[in-house]
Amino acid sequence: MNRQWLYARQPRGKITPDTFQWRETAIPQPQPGEALVRTRLLSLDPANRAWMMGKTYRDALQPGEVMNGFAVGVVVESRVSGLAKGDIVEGDWGWQDYAAVPARRLTKRTVDAPIELLIGPLSVTGLTAYFGLLEIGQPRPGDTVLVSAAAGAVGSMVGQIARIAGCRVVGTAGGKEKCDWLTRELGFDAAVDYKSDNAFRALRAACPDGIDVYFDNTGGPVLDMALSLMNLRGRVACCGNVSQYDVEKPGPGPLTVPGLVVVKRLRLEGFIVMDFYDRRAEAEARLARWIAEGRLKAELDILDGLERAPEALIGLFEGTNRGKRAVRVS
Ligand SMILES: NC(=O)c1ccc[n+]([C@@H]2O[C@H](COP(=O)([O-])OP(=O)(O)OC[C@H]3O[C@@H](n4cnc5c(N)ncnc54)[C@H](OP(=O)(O)O)[C@@H]3O)[C@@H](O)[C@H]2O)c1
């Protein structure tokens, strides 16, 4: 039996359990050039919701197809040279127990690490934080680095890597509990609850020397606040726009952006983590070393059971996760 979640219908406004439909079907037979993979862990990513809005860096999801998503699994049968039963692989075969996947869409993982680290910290999440901060943000020791969605998967790693790079680190997150966790457990110098009434004043107080690098995971009001606190020649690493994914229509955007960018000579640069995959091994080796040395905490937020995938994704837009959210399928 292959249990699957289908993408059932395009949401109007927020995603709900009705966005998805449960199906039980036969386990597929791999064809020549394919491997049959059993899912171990599913990655839940805000981008899963963005794919419902239309074409992004990939084609839009189509109702009726298996809900797409990044996953880690084990090869149970291979009709491909270079992959054997028992190999651990990653790919985007989506929300299901089993998939017959063409070899070109699978990456064999040979890193000696717990499988939970391969679903985020030593994969997409860690690489996004690493390259987005170090290559796009270009932090220098002593800089003030601000990161939004700081208690999430990417944000929590960005802040810690910025500390390793010798920066002063400030995060924004929803609620006091997450903010306390950032300063007490992850070594952030300050954290600001962006939902509080006095968020702008608190952010200004937390960044007395202004902001040199802003790692933007959210867009929306936090981007607005950050731009007005940026220093001359500051860098904004545009990683994502989570505040605008789970809505019927994205907002009109901060109308003052162009003026601030001109006057402060800012550089705003977007990136997609795959742009850096030719340097993946180097980055993963450094991330693994920092984790092993205890300098980088890889916080995992794992829900058990494929049944819980919709709930796990919906929760990302309610802020129910801390660190990397994933679902354990088997
Ligand atoms: N460019 C790339 O290649 C790349 C790769 C991976 C991820 N990303 C992007 O990186 C960002 C973070 O992804 P992630 O996987 O690490 O997710 P995540 O931060 O673990 O989860 C999403 C978080 O966003 C916050 N959030 C939800 N709605 C919000 C809103 N309206 N305003 C502000 N914050 C809100 C929530 O935290 P609070 O409780 O703090 O609100 C939630 O925990 C996303 O924008 C994603 O698209 C980009």
Ligand 1 atom 35 nearest Cα: 243
Residue 30 · residue 78 · CB < 8 Å: yes
Which of 297, 26, 320 has the alpha carbon at shortest distance from 186? 297
Q: Are residues 95 and 165 in the same domain?
A: no
Q: Are residues 73 and 100 in the same domain?
A: yes
Q: Are residues 138 and 260 in the same domain?
A: yes
In a domain, residue 94? The reply is: yes
In a domain, residue 289? The reply is: no
**Stretch 139-145: mean pLDDT:** 98
Q: List all residues whose CB is within 6 A of at least one atom of ligand 1.
A: 45-47, 124, 128, 149, 151-155, 173-174, 178, 217-218, 220, 239-243, 271-273, 316-317, 319, 321, 325
In a domain, residue 287? The reply is: no
What is the enclosing helix (H) or strand (E) of 214? strand 211-216
Quote the domain boundaries for residue 240.
124-274
Which of 267, 265, 243 has the alpha carbon at shortest distance from 254? 243
Residue 264 · residue 212 · CB < 8 Å: no
Query: From CA 241, how far away is CA 154, in angstroms rounded?
Result: 13
In a domain, residue 41? The reply is: yes
**Stretch 292-314: mean pLDDT:** 98
In a domain, residue 200? The reply is: yes
pLDDT at 254: 67
Domain containing residue 205: CATH number: 3.40.50.720
Q: Which of 274, 291, 316 is the last residue of a domain?
A: 274
Is the per-residue pLDDT at 97 higher than 80? yes
Count of domains observed in the chain: 2
Ligand 1 atom 42 nearest Cα: 319
Sign of the alpha-carbon dihedral angle for 51, 53, 59, 65: positive
Q: Are residues 69 and 146 in the same domain?
A: no
pLDDT at 257: 74
Which of 81, 82, 66, 64 has the alpha carbon at shortest distance from 28? 66
Which of 113, 111, 148 has the alpha carbon at shortest distance from 129? 148
Q: Are residues 189 and 311 in the same domain?
A: no
Higher per-residue confidence, 258 vs 163: 163
pLDDT at 260: 86
In a domain, residue 201? The reply is: yes
Ligand 1 center to 51 CA (angstroms): 14
pLDDT at 81: 93
Is the per-residue pLDDT at 256 higher than 80? no
In a domain, residue 146? The reply is: yes
Return the structure tokens found at 313.
Answer: 């994704």
Query: From CA 117, how far away is CA 108, in angstroms rounded?
Result: 15
Is the per-residue pLDDT at 259 higher than 90? no
Domain containing residue 83: CATH number: 3.90.180.10
Question: To 5 degrees, how large is the angle CA 97–CA 14–CA 325?
Answer: 45
- Residue range 34-74, pLDDT digits in tens: 999 999 999 999 999 999 998 998 899 999 999 999 999 99
Query: From CA 217, how far away is CA 156, in angstroms rounded?
Result: 11
Q: Are residues 268 and 190 in the same domain?
A: yes
